[in-house]
Amino acid sequence: MTLVDVAAQAGVSVSSASRALTDKSASVDVRERVQLAARELGYVPDSTARSLKLGASRQVLFAVDDIGNPNYVAMLRAIERTFGYTGPRVSVATVGRDSGTPVDLVEAVSRGRADGLILSPIRRSSLLEERLSSSAIPTVVIGSVSESVQVDSVRIDSGKAIAIAAEHLIARGRRRIAFINGPSDTNPGEVRARGFAQSLRVAGIAADPMLEISAADFTVGAGVVAAHALFERGNYTELPFDAIVAANDLLAMAAINVAVGRGFRVPDDVAVTGLDDTELGSVFIPSITSVSLRAAERGARAAQMLEARFQHPQRPIERVAFEPELHVRASCGGAL
């Protein structure tokens, strides 16, 4: 069922059929006949052919590691809102371990399928960065990339965010602070570990490997496993920590669940902080003290930058940084 069929049925040329359907100049008569024919035949234009001819797809791809993470959902909503009804349609691809690497993605999608790409990978790869450098379509990275890569990016120092959380706990008098990190082979995992170590150093607290653990993923499920492992380490009569810094809100929820399940009080026995400042975390009981990574703002900004690059392909590379922001809630004891 192609435009040729519709044109034949309506008794006009394909050119006229095309015009009639895309509402260019066409007589009322032709327009009606063509639209009728299209309806009768159940004609649906082939977007692939149209894109090929037009050289644009009006599609933007948002590629994330795990769309189950509320952080990315917040970004997505902001991106969609920014493009709005008249902008390109945005679709999401997950590029986690299971579902194809970011490189696959950049390959697959590169040209034709989407006009632009917003990419938020958690694992750095030199291959990916190489591909990004010679990217076939406009791209904005939300996250960190090497300075050498010429690509627009929106970043935030999540190591600093972790440090802010840890410092807040220290300021409240907590001294034995545990850390539940995400996977250490990820960029956020690495950065957050450094941020945590740094904050202890500044406070003059000795780092203790027994108090640090990496969850297998930035998910609740992995967090529960990690938290249990943390609580079961060593032989103690008294809990060897009085606070837990979690690498995001999902891990914080898991930590609180496990702590409470083992009979400890949060925040009295163990204070807990998260990262991402999710709505879910603020509704959790106790509500979770969290450092915002400004996901929505970063998403919106990324969309704006992509749009700007569509307009001006030659504009200089732009790298924007946001500042993390602490939101004190009940899980660390509430406002000071």
Partner DNA sequence: TTGAAAGCGATACCAT
Partner DNA sequence: ATGGTATCGCTTTCAA
Alpha-carbon Rg for the chain, nearest whole angstrom, is: 25
Closer Cβ to its own copies, 221 or 334, answer by number: 221
Q: Choose which of 42, 53, 313, 335 interacts with DNA (CB under 7 A).
A: 53
Residue 268 contact partner, candidates DNA, its own copies, none, CB within 5 to 8 A by sort of partner: none
Q: Tell me if 277 contacts its own copies by CB under 8 A.
A: no
Closer Cβ to DNA, 30 or 73, answer by number: 30
Q: Is 24 exposed, middle or buried (0-12, 13-18, 19+ CB in 10 A)?
A: exposed
Q: Choose which of 13, 15, 22, 99 interacts with its own copies (CB under 8 A).
A: 99
Closer Cβ to DNA, 27 or 133, answer by number: 27
Residue 224 contact partner, candidates DNA, its own copies, none, CB within 5 to 8 A by sort of partner: its own copies
> Rounded to whole angstroms, how far apart are CA atoms 218 and 225?
12
Could you tell me which of 2, 80, 83 has the C-alpha nearest to residue 41? 2
Q: What is the DSSP string of 122-135?
A: SS--HHHHHHHHT-
CB distance 192 to 156 below 8 Å: no
Q: Tell me if 4 contacts its own copies by CB under 8 A.
A: no
Q: Choose which of 8, 45, 91, 172 interacts with DNA (CB under 7 A).
A: 45
Q: Tell me if 221 contacts its own copies by CB under 8 A.
A: yes
Which are the contacts of 169, defined by CB distance < 8 A and separation ≥ 6?
177, 243, 245, 271, 273, 332
Tokens, residue 262: 């083992």
Residues in region 60-119 near DNA by CB under 7 A: 111
Residue 134 contact partner, candidates DNA, its own copies, none, CB within 5 to 8 A by sort of partner: its own copies
The set of long-range contacts for 135-142, using a CB threshold of 8 Å and a minimum separation of 24, is 135/106, 135/110, 136/110, 136/111, 137/109, 137/110, 137/111, 138/306, 138/309, 138/310, 138/313, 139/306, 140/116, 140/302, 140/305, 140/306, 140/309, 142/75, 142/118, 142/298, 142/299, 142/302
> Rounded to whole angstroms, how far apart are CA atoms 66 and 123?
12
Closer Cβ to DNA, 89 or 97, answer by number: 89
Residues in region 226-265 near its own copies by CB under 8 A: 253-254, 256-257, 260
49-62 burial string, b = 16+ CB within 10 Å, else e?
eebeeeeebebbbb
Q: Tell me if 216 contacts its own copies by CB under 8 A.
A: no
Closer Cβ to its own copies, 45 or 240, answer by number: 45
Segment contacting its own copies by CB under 8 A, of 64-72, 148-156, 190-198, 202-210: 64-72
Q: Tell me if 29 contacts its own copies by CB under 8 A.
A: no
**89-94 and 59-64 beta bridge pairing:** parallel
Closer Cβ to DNA, 49 or 321, answer by number: 49
Q: Choose which of 40, 46, 130, 185 interacts with DNA (CB under 7 A).
A: 46
CB distance 242 to 176 below 8 Å: yes
CA triple 10-11-15, angle to 5 deg: 85
The least CB distance from residue 3 to DNA, in Å, is: 3
Contact set with its own copies (CB under 8 A): 1, 42, 44-52, 57, 59, 61, 67-68, 70, 73, 76-77, 80-81, 85, 89-94, 98-100, 107-113, 134, 136, 219-221, 224, 253-254, 256-257, 260, 279-280, 283-285
Binding site for DNA (CB under 7 A): 2-4, 12-16, 18-19, 21-22, 24-27, 29-30, 43, 45-46, 49-50, 52-55, 111
